[in-house]
């Protein structure tokens, strides 16, 4: 079964930056085949889509309105990893961040799409 592992979370001051990583574990899997999405869930709030990148055959990228211009999603093919670069962080970005993907390959991503596999999450705290 496909497993995703997030890393890179932590405590950062407002205006700071973090880079989250999402990698596959368990067996060799080329993440280029898969649409990958980042979600977050803050305490007492519903999970929300943050950004997604379609499989390499499509290449489309989407961002939630409140992170546009501050977050950047990308792939590193050599490392088989998807990143979420988060700049100009705000206290309201505090949440557990999850990466997710679909069972099927060669899919376009969407922030409202259904995802089948999820990582365990990584905590991001923005506070002075």
Q: What is the pLDDT of residues 68-104, one digit of tens each?
A: 999 999 999 888 899 999 999 999 999 999 999 998 9
Q: Chain centroid to CA 17: how far? A: 15
Q: What is the pLDDT of residues 8-62, one digit of tens each?
A: 999 999 999 999 999 988 666 788 899 999 999 999 999 999 999 999 888 899 9
Calculate the average pLDDT of the chain. 94
* Contact assessment for residue 11 and residue 17, using Cβ atoms and an 8 Å cutoff: no
* Predicted local confidence at residue 27, as pLDDT: 63
Burial state string for 80-89 with b = 16 or more CB within 10 A and e = fewer than 16? ebbbbebeeb
């Amino acid at each position: 079964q496909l497993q995703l592992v997030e890393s890179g979370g932590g405590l950062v001051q407002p205006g700071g930056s973090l880079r989250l990583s999402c990698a596959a574990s368990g067996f060799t899997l080329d993440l280029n085949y898969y649409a990958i999405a980042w979600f977050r869930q803050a305490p007492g709030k519903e999970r929300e889509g943050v950004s997604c990148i379609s499989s390499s055959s499509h290449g489309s990228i989407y961002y939630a309105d409140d992170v546009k211009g501050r977050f950047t999603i990308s792939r590193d093919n050599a490392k088989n990893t998807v990143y979420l670069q988060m700049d100009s962080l705000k206290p309201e970005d505090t949440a557990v961040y999850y990466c997710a993907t679909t069972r099927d390959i060669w899919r376009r991503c969407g922030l409202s799409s259904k995802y089948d596999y999820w990582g365990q999450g990584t905590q991001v705290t923005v506070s002075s």
